[in-house]
Amino acid sequence: MSRATSEQSHFVIGVALDRGGFHPAAIRSQQALTDNFSITAWEDLVRQAESLGAGFVTLEDAFNDTSRPGLDTSLLASWLAPRTEKIGLIPTLTTTHTEPFHVSKNLATLDYVSHGRAGWQVAVSATEAETLLVGRGRAYDDESSLYAEARDVIEVVRGLWDSWEDDAEVRDVATGRFIDREKLHYVDFEGDFFSIKGPSIVPRPPQGQPLVTIAGTSEEVLNTAVRGADVIFTGTSAPEKLTLLNEKITTLSDQHGRDKNAPLKVVADVYFAVDPDESEALARWQRLNEVQTLNPSQADEVVIGTPEHLSERLDQVKAAGVDGVRLWPAQNQHDLAVIEQHLKSVVEKLQDHPADNNAAPLRARFGLGRPANRYASASSSASAH
């Protein structure tokens, strides 16, 4: 692998929690539908992932999938934060139909509530149905426009997180002075899709910049990831695909001048359905497919078998030179319970720095430090002159 790496290597294992599970039939049972709207059931799932030793969970969300309804993941994450202790919480927020100011505010709030465990999975809304659903009267017919807007949103959200310097709050009771206004900054962004003045109404988050993630391997996703994200989720665990992806990311990082001391972290997606007995897993998988089938390209990569089969795939993925793995259970409750019982020691062993992977801030688990405030350095230079 030629991709630049940070000074200290970190390998992180996380869990993706979709509604019911990644298999589209997982949500079709009455119990799964009930649990999907039960906040205590979600708490049980996330605490189970935390007990497994996972460094983070992503909470999947979308506007257009009415066949798999669910709770708003940014609000759900804020409810989960005080009910968990160590695990990173990464809700999905679309950039297409959500105002950047609200994205920034919601995620900064989550970072405060979780004491530095917040992340953001960037998504776009590409269908006319989503446009009609929110009533905005706008639609894009190409991926390029969607991700051009996403890049603007990421830039603005990051700017809003920095719009308060770390010591902007004075809190002087005697004089009644709460803020040093010289340490609040306007974003002053004007682009093709929106303009934002700022500053934020929330002080700079505990992490400075909550972790920004994005999923996919298209050219537009890769360009957006290299230019604005901290982590990319690959959608694949095939070692040969991961090798090619690392090479593409290295090339794009050089083209866009990405800081070599802050390389894009690559996390492989591993889909699985496991049981202690392989025949049980195969039979369960067949039952799910009788209700609704996966597309062939995704089905080809699913690990169907025993916890030992999943462990072998995790070893292969780590050897491919990525920075972590995101586990996708076919059925959330069933598959998480199996791997918690049979693979907990494997998860702990695979993660190079368990102390970092199981403590706030979330950025540290990926070997990322707390970034400097862009406006603070500019204002200090100006005051020096």
| Cα 351 from chain centre | 18
Let me know the angle formed at the C-alpha of 77 by 84 and 103, rounded to the nearest 5 degrees: 145
Q: Which pair of structure tokens corresponds to residue 38?
A: 């039960």
> How many Cβ atoms from other residues are within 10 Å of residue 296's Cβ?
7
SS3 state of residue 57: strand
SS3 state of residue 7: coil
Residue 173 CA to residue 170 CA, distance in Å, equals: 9
Q: What single DSSP character describes residue 371? A: P
Strands 119-123 and 56-59: unpaired
Residues linked to residue 184 through DSSP beta bridges, in sequence order? 164
Q: Which pair of structure tokens corresponds to residue 159?
A: 């700017």
> How many Cβ atoms from other residues are within 10 Å of residue 284's Cβ?
19
Residue 259 CA to residue 43 CA, distance in Å, equals: 38
Residues 344, 311 contacting (CB under 8 angstroms): no
147 belongs to an annotated ligand binding site:
yes
CA distances, 138 to each of 123, 132, 272, 305 (Å): 17, 8, 37, 45
Let me know the angle formed at the C-alpha of 317 by 313 and 321, rounded to the nearest 5 degrees: 165
Residue 315 CA to residue 310 CA, distance in Å, equals: 9
Q: Which pair of structure tokens corresponds to residue 185?
A: 């900054």
345 belongs to an annotated ligand binding site:
no
92 belongs to an annotated ligand binding site:
yes
What is the chain's Cα-based Rg?
21
Let me know the angle formed at the C-alpha of 244 by 243 and 248, rounded to the nearest 5 degrees: 120
Residue 336 CA to residue 329 CA, distance in Å, equals: 7
Residues tagged in the binding site annotation: 92, 147, 218
Residues tagged in the binding site annotation for FMN: 92, 147, 218
